[in-house]
Amino acid sequence: MAGANERSSRAEKVASVLRPLGRGPLSREQAVVAGQLLGVHWTTVYRLRRRFLADPVASSVAPYRRGPSPDGGRLGDDVDKVIDEVVHVWLPKQRQLAHPATNLVLEVRRRCALAGLQLPSRTTIGRRWAKHRESDALKRAALPDALKAPGSHVAKYPLEIVQVDHTQADVLLVSEYDRRVIGRPWLTLALDVATKCVLSFYVSMDRPGRQRWVCY
């Protein structure tokens, strides 16, 4: 219990130092000062800040537990249940994740920290996710229609088939007035299947939806 209280107190202290820094660019001088307050190297401040910005609660920056769990097992049934819940239930419902592997790790660790459980490593979570995908692939391969060749788009003439796709850009936009983070823009592309030519593109801060199907 003492260990859990120490981790919780440490997480609160880290959050109290990172929270006033906001979400804007962090200079090295600010990182050095924050590192002195926390007793860590200034490069560690950037790593802690990335975790905190991804999930701005104190539990997201709780120190990782090292070594085996108190019961002698590698993880324990409770941690296994958390990983399985996130992999099988939470992740399939997330349709707009730009980096699902990273978000998966953060969500598992967030839930484990809230429950006072050992935080599993990224490698452990990744292996569990890979095993889930392999199992899902085997189930799909056993379906009656699995042996049928998938369809393909074949176009003989330009503009016969135009495909439209969306992706969230891996960049953060900030306000030109106060440098506050606005968000990540969405890019929509229209591609001609026959010529592989990009016909048009559209950039917006709104998520793709049925109301935004025309590219300018």
Q: Could you write out the DSSP letters of every residue in 99-115? A: SHHHHHHHHHHHHHHHT
The model's pLDDT over 3-27, given as tens digits with 9 standing for 90+, comes to: 667 878 888 888 889 888 888 888 8
Poorest-pLDDT segment among 30-39, 48-57, 194-203: 48-57
Q: What's the pLDDT at 206? A: 84
Q: 186 forms bridges with which residues in the sheet?
A: 168, 204
- What does the mean pLDDT of the chain come to? 80
Q: CA 86, CA 128: separation in Å to the nearest integer?
A: 11
Q: CA 128, CA 124: separation in Å to the nearest integer?
A: 6
Position 141: which residue type?
A: A
Poorest-pLDDT segment among 4-8, 10-14, 33-37, 57-61: 4-8
Higher pLDDT, 214 or 164: 164
Residue 60, number of CB atoms within 10 A of its CB:
22
Provide the total of helices (H) and of strands (E) in the chain, helices listed first: 7, 5
The model's pLDDT over 152-198, given as tens digits with 9 standing for 90+, comes to: 567 788 888 898 888 888 888 898 888 888 889 999 999 998 888 99
SS3 13: helix
pLDDT band at 2 (very low <50, low <70, confident <90, very high): very low
88: tokens are 């099988």
> Residues 115-138: what's their mean pLDDT?
83
∠ CA 145-146-151, rounded to 5°: 80
82 close to 104: Cβ distance less than 8 angstroms: no
Q: What's the pLDDT at 21? A: 87
pLDDT band at 216 (very low <50, low <70, confident <90, very high): very low
The model's pLDDT over 66-115, given as tens digits with 9 standing for 90+, comes to: 554 444 445 567 888 898 888 888 888 887 777 888 888 889 989 988 88
42 close to 28: Cβ distance less than 8 angstroms: yes
Residue 148 has pLDDT above 60, yes or no: no
Position 92: which residue type?
A: P
Residue 28 has pLDDT above 70, yes or no: yes
Higher pLDDT, 59 or 142: 59
Closest-CA residue to 63 (of 44, 90, 37, 42): 44
Report yes or no on whether pTM surpasses 0.75. Answer: no
What are residue 60's phi and psi, to 5 degrees?
-70, -20
> Residues 131-156: what's their mean pLDDT?
68
Higher pLDDT, 212 or 123: 123
